[in-house]
Structure 1
Amino acid sequence: MTTAPGRWQGSRASSQPLASQVGLEILRQGGNAADAAVGVAAALNVTEPCSTGIGGDCFCLFYHAGKKQVLGLNASGRCPAGLNINVLAEQGITDKLPWFSPHAITVPGAAAGWVDTVEKFGSGKLDLGQILQPAIELAEYGFPVHPVAAHHWQVGAPLLTNPKNRFGYEMLLNGKPPKAGEIMKMPNLARTFRELATQGKNGFYSGRIANAIVDIVKEHGGLMTLDDLSSHYNTFDDPICVNYKGINVWEIPPNGQGITALLALNLLKGYDWNGIEHNSTQYLHTLIEAMRISFADSSWYVADPEQVNIPIKELLSNRYANERRQLIKSDRATVSVEKGKPFNCSDTVYFATADNEGNACSFINSNYMGFGTGIIPEGCGFTLQNRGSNFSLEKDHPNILAPRKRPYHTIIPGMATCASSGDLYASFGVMGGFMQPQGHVQVMLNMIDFDMNPQQALDAARFCVGSGHKGSAGGVNLEKGLPCDTRDNLADMGHDVSDLIEGHGRALFGRGQIILRKEDGNGCRTWWAGSDPRADGLAIGY
């Protein structure tokens, strides 16, 4: 999808058509890319709560066209102050924090993130109430559930129908997950949005909603308190980047895993793909090896920078990339990779927006695994995330669970600019657990090295090292659309490869959105947007 020059206002790409339309409506009202992003985040909470919600976290990269600058927001929450590994050990939890444990609930950062995005990056022409109003109406009056969302709602339904989840009915239709085409209403979520709109952060982190969160977490055995909620704050972090063949690719720094994509790009910029066929055996082998090496580093070094010193500069240095690149063998797989020493001496939703001033917003919001824990605070209409399950319980690990600490985070927005001019190249992202940095690398190379347009870059078949929630552990999953002989050749090289995955199983490979900025040399700007076919999404311009 492209927007024509002239009276264009902007572009919007998300995983859900109604949410994309909400973004355009906000642009029509005078909002900018950041305002539209928050409106879409709220609309996706309504239409795709099996992937995202106000009970989760969000991250944002904002391209300020006037300053030619990329700005970052980390709106991820922290571990409750009363929780530590000793408390878990007393409960017999010593190896891995269970995915759906109440202890996996970290303070939701998304509500504060929406407020901060509007206040810091917004146009100033619309208030939060105006921005949230379309989502409030969708929740209150109802919306038709789309097919992919209906499928994942069904998959996550056991969490909502569990008898221990007393308020699961708030996100069900007559006690069941809604089917495609059925009209779903979420009045309690509309009420939550109204309180955030009228009271700001206090409307979520204190009062009725905060009390409901604390009550339900305690009911399930968790330790979150009102003080944990009221003391939450987000950070405006300087994004990190690498120059890949003339394009600066930007990511949020740790505790997000965006550095994984940058580590891989640093390795891959040492290769010349001229004459190499896209998704050929040699191409995929090299990318798979680069991702394994990058995950080996990020799975150790990514942690909360407020509590751990992370050697970002050293990890992203050319010296370190040259050293780690030597691990890639052209003829065989290296299945097990250890973390390096970079020191010189020793199911989630992603969407992108762009506006008529040339600004762009890359925004991602998630519960982590589908509905997260599936636990719903009474009368609130949203589930609480299970992001804390990404903490390590190893005593010497940088990402060890600790009070008031942010965990390793999988959700990452992406932004790319032209290294020579600072102009925007693209706002992009691929959602889906540990697939996300892999998706970032694959779609960026599709556009930069193989000259694909955004839709082609998203349509192309992908690989995923490991499963969606296990990082680089396990084999290599391959999507239908790749040549069968490529799969067989990779197996011969020592890769543990899957059969080609199709249907709803393709969700493993993430769902991305891209908005590319194009100019014709005469001052006419065009937004060229694409939306992933693995979702219900829509790229649309106005």
Structure 2
Amino acid sequence: MRLFSGLLTVRRAGVMLAAAMTVTLFDPNTAVADATTKPVLHGRHWVAVTGKPLAATAGAMTFQRGGNAVDAACAMLAATSTMWDVLSWGGETQALIYNPNTGEVKGINALGVAPTGATPEFFREQDMVYPPEFGPLAAVTPGTPGGLMVMLAEYGKLSLAEVLAPAMQMAEGYPIEESQADYIESRRDILSQWPDSKRVFLPHLDEDDPDKRAAPRGGEIFRQHDLLATLQKLVDTEAEALAAGKSRKAAIMAAYDRFYLGDIAEEIVRANREAGGLFTLEDLDNWQVHIEEPVTTNYKGIDVYKLTTWVQGPVLLQALNMLENIDVKSMGYNTARYIHTLYQVMNHAFADRDFYYGDPYFPPAEPVEGLLSKAYAKQRLQALNPDRNDPNVKPGDPYPFQGDENPFEELLEKWTPIPPSAEAEGTEGFQQAGLMTHDEGFRAGTTSIQAADAEGWVVSVTPSGGWIPAFIAGSTGVGLSQRMQSFVLDESLNPFNVVAPGKRPRATLTPSMALKDGKPMLAFSVQGGDTQDQNLLQFFLNMVEFDMNVQQAAEAHNVTSFQMQSSFGAHDSQPGRLQVTPKVTEWVREKLTDRGYEVEIIDRTYSPITAIWFDRVHGTMWGAASDYGDDYGVAW
């Protein structure tokens, strides 16, 4: 039994959260936390945090209208979708909601599904190794509009019109950020393939002068008249339903029906099919939002909640189940031993993700009970090499831990960390095919949203999909998702995530929530792709093991592993590759190299975390937004 010697003492130390914003001296075995770039957001009545300042303002405006945290989260979702903050209205929405009236955490599953005709055979006939990265064939059915309206109808207080008002003002015209405008210009060759995308994104395109800038410039008013008309249709439908005597909830769902059954759906399907896509009206009609039970584990007295296997969220719980058997704090923050242990634990959790995670509403059934078993975690822990990186970590067998036999033993035996297709093609081949590189896929962006109020409502959202270069569906102004690429075509890679009509791809999107003694303690999520639960695991440990406050933990520099399979592009893996920042000392980097890692030093690892921590002593809320990128919050 190869265990980390002396590290299996289960500690029951209480959670200590440092309130000071500046720290000068720390014990060597605690966090080396600097003064933060941004201050903690202190709120008594509400907190709204998301990926863009304008969107955080939309949340604040909604709170000021009298909305609760769900209303504010929906307003921020609408605003970020309108801003193309690495998502748009045709993307997907994943959320966790704490309901103070019931004391329960509920999940919102608003991830689209593969359309009719989307089979492995279809994509192989197109000479594709995986579904494409962008365009009409990359799209699953739109999820964000339905997710927003179901959340609002079930848990909000305001009308759809009130919640969409900030986004509609933005669709009418808002000053676009320079970084976004320049990115649009860099993708003009792809965007110009599709007439409606070209019309919206490239208003200055001059076919006779290819050197002239086609995209808006930073600060220019960016207008989306088609999208505004679509949002107005939803608001008008709600108003008509209310005038006819319908309830608030029924009126919002009337707008939902217009999007998925009415003229908006018809235009989305028409535009998608004319461009070579597979959407049918039945695909949009049959799709539905699921309000579901999240999965959870207890880490040293803290109940941590994630969405289940249609996203990667359970890997965080699997990692915590292993780490609770280790005295993490005694290792010291970002020491060689700590980083090595973290890396190996993530290897084992992510290997399980790569083979066992998929759509729980589509057979075969994922072995969730076994994957989250504490006994299974201890078995996985025994396989960790305490001295060197293991580049050949494979999925385990969770089935015995739920009293079953593994139906995929033969596939499991043949499974390799690097997919055969990636080995055969190589990174260069996939780049020539137009697929994301490994690094692009790992950091493929999204946004994150946190909202909380004095009534006790707490919301954590990680929406995504329909990022630039987006295919805009006709006159709707709606950019469609590109999530199809997260499917695989070969069951030997993952028998639970093979593309099929009506099935959800296993996504990377992963909102998070933690409760202590039955009360909210922390809401947290992060932008990114396969980095997300790596970032969130380190953020969580920064707070509960290394005594950082929420802003210090959000700004702390993470380490990044590339050993798990990418969920995008070539789906390849790079065992042993490890990125750190200069804050990891040269001595530690040398020790990691000795353990078999290929250590890369970069200025800042990608970790744009947003979070809210609940101060039970003073009855207040502490908001945090990373100093990476444009993440921003407002509190009152």
Pair in the same fold by TM > 0.5: yes
Shift of 1:479: 4.0
Map of 1:11-410 to 2, 5 A cutoff? Answer: 11-47=47-83, 49-93=84-128, 95-100=129-134, 102-122=136-156, 124=157, 126-140=158-172, 142-150=173-181, 152-160=183-191, 162-175=192-205, 176-199=214-237, 200-307=255-362, 308-344=364-400, 346=405, 347-367=445-465, 370-371=467-468, 374-395=470-491, 397-410=495-508
Q: Do the aligned residues in 2 keep the contact of 1:63 with 1:360 (CA within 8 Å)?
A: yes
Secondary structure of the structure 2 residue equivalent to 1:439? helix
One-letter code of the match for 1:96? Y
Instruction: Report what 2:428 is aligned to.
Output: none
CA distance in 1, matches of 2:588, 2:219: 39
Aligned counterparts of 1:270 and 1:220: Cα–Cα separation in 2: 53
Deviation string for 1:428-448 (max 9, x for gaps)?
Answer: 001211111111111111111
Query: 3-state DSSP class of the match of 1:274?
Result: helix
Cα distance in 2 between the residues matched to 1:483 and 1:201: 54
1:280 positional shift: 1.9
Alpha-carbon RMSD: 2.1
Equivalent residues of 1:431, 1:512 under 8 A apart: yes
Stretches of 4+ aligned residues off by more than 6 angstroms: none
Give the aligned residue type for 1:38.
C
Give the Cα separation in 2 of the matches to 1:245 and 1:148. Answer: 42
In structure 1, runs of 5+ residues without a counterpart are none
Structure 1 stretch 216-225 or stretch 469-478: which is displaced more?
469-478
1:157 Cα deviation after fit: 4.3
Alpha-carbon distance in structure 1 between the residues aligned to 2:74 and 2:107 = 15
Counterpart CA distance in 2 for 1:401 and 1:479 is 38
- Indicate yes or no: 2:562 matched with 1:526: no
Q: Any conservation in 1 of the 2:41–2:624 contact (CA below 8 Å)?
A: no
2:547 maps to 1:512 = no
Distance in 2 (CA, whole Å) between partners of 1:449 and 1:148 is 36
Does the CA-based 8 Å contact 1:20-1:539 persist in structure 2? Answer: yes
The C-alpha deviation readout for 1:206-229, integer Å capped at 9, x for no partner, is: 333322322232233221111111
Structure 1 counterpart SS, 2:331: coil
Are 2:515 and 1:452 aligned? no
CA distance in 1, matches of 2:188, 2:581: 26
Aligned with 1:10 (options 29, 46, 49) = 46
SS class of match (1:426)? strand
Mapped to 2, the partners of 1:135 and 1:463 lie a distance apart of 36
Range moving further from structure 2, 491-500 or 467-476: 467-476
Distance, in Å, in 1 between the alignment partners of 2:457 and 2:196 is 44
| CA-CA distance at 1:376 after TM superposition | 0.8
Pairing 1:390-469 to 2, within 5 Å after superposition: 390-395=486-491, 397-418=495-516, 421-466=517-562, 469=567
Q: Summarize deviations over 1:396-438 as a string: whole Å, max 9, x none.
A: 52211111111111111111111xx201001100121111111
Q: What is the alpha-carbon distance in structure 2 between the residues aligned to residue 158 and residue 486 of structure 1?
A: 44
Distance 2:181 2:553 in 1: 26
State the distance in 1 between where 2:291 and 2:586 align. 46
User: Which amino acid is the alignment partner of residue 482 of structure 1?
Assistant: V
d(CA) in 2 for partners of 1:406, 1:491: 39
Deviation at 1:265, TM superposition (A): 1.4
After superposition, the C-alpha distances for 1:495-535 in whole angstroms (9 at most, x for unaligned) are 23323244xxx5xx242200000022xxx411101111112
TM-score by length of 2: 0.78
Deviations 1:182-235 (A, max 9, x none): 332222222222223333112322333322322232233221111111221011
Segment of structure 1 superposing worse, 10-19 or 179-188: 179-188
- The letter for the 2-side match of 1:14 is T
Q: Does 1:497 align with 2:497?
A: no
Contact persistence 2:462–2:526 (CA under 8 A): no
Contact 1:435 1:468 (C-alpha < 8 Å) held by counterparts: no
Letter in 1 for 2:393: V
Q: Structure 1 counterpart of 2:80, which letter? A: L
Deviation of 1:250 after TM superposition, in Å, equals: 0.5
The Cα shift of 1:150 comes to 4.4
| Contact in 2 for aligned 1:295/1:472 (Cα 8 Å) | no
Q: When the two structures are aligned, how many residues end up with a matched partner?
A: 522
How far apart are residue 158 of structure 1 and its match? Answer: 4.0
Q: Which residue of 1 aligns with 2:15?
A: none
Q: Which amino acid aligns with 1:329?
A: N
CA distance in 2, matches of 1:89, 1:130: 46
Any idea what SS the aligned residue of 1:527 has?
strand
Render the CA deviation track for 1:32-62: whole Å, top value 9, x for unaligned. Answer: 1111011001111122x05011110001100
The whole-number CA distance in structure 2 between the counterparts of 1:10 and 1:20 is 12
Greater shift in the superposed pair: 199-208 or 351-360: 199-208
In 2, are the aligned partners of 1:216 and 1:375 still within 8 Å (CA)? no
Identity of aligned residues (%): 30
Deviations 1:432-478 (A, max 9, x none): 11111111111111111111111111111112222875578112233
Q: Conserved in 1, the CA contact under 8 Å of 2:486 and 2:567?
A: no
Query: CA contact under 8 A between 2:184 and 2:201: conserved in structure 1?
Result: no
Inter-partner Cα distance in structure 1 for 2:125 and 2:572:
30
Q: Deviations over 1:48-93 (max 9, x none)?
A: x050111100011001123221111100111112221222233333
Greater gyration radius: 2
Secondary structure of 2:276 counterpart: coil
Please say if residues 53 and 365 of structure 1, whose CA atoms lie closer than 8 Å, have aligned partners that are also in contact: no
Residues 3 and 526 in structure 1, CA contact (< 8 A), matched pair in contact too: no
Equivalent of 2:588, from 480, 486, 494? 486
Determine the C-alpha separation between the residues in 2 that align with 1:207 and 1:26: 28
TM-score normalised over the length of structure 1: 0.91
State whether residues 48 and 59 of structure 2, in contact with CA within 8 Å, keep that contact through their aligned partners in structure 1. Answer: yes
Shift of 1:3: 5.9
1:173 offset after TM fit, Å?
Answer: 4.6
Is the alpha carbon distance of 1:482 and 1:146 closer, same or farther for their aligned partners in structure 2, counting shifts above 3 Å? farther
Task: Check the 8 A contact 2:329/2:546 in 1, yes or no.
Answer: no
How far apart are 1:148 and its partner, in Å?
4.7
Cα shift readout 1:312-331 (whole Å, capped 9, x = no counterpart) = 11101111000101122222
Q: Residue deviations 1:110-143, cap 9 Å, x none?
A: 1100000001121x3x111110001101221x22
Amino acid at match of 2:290: T
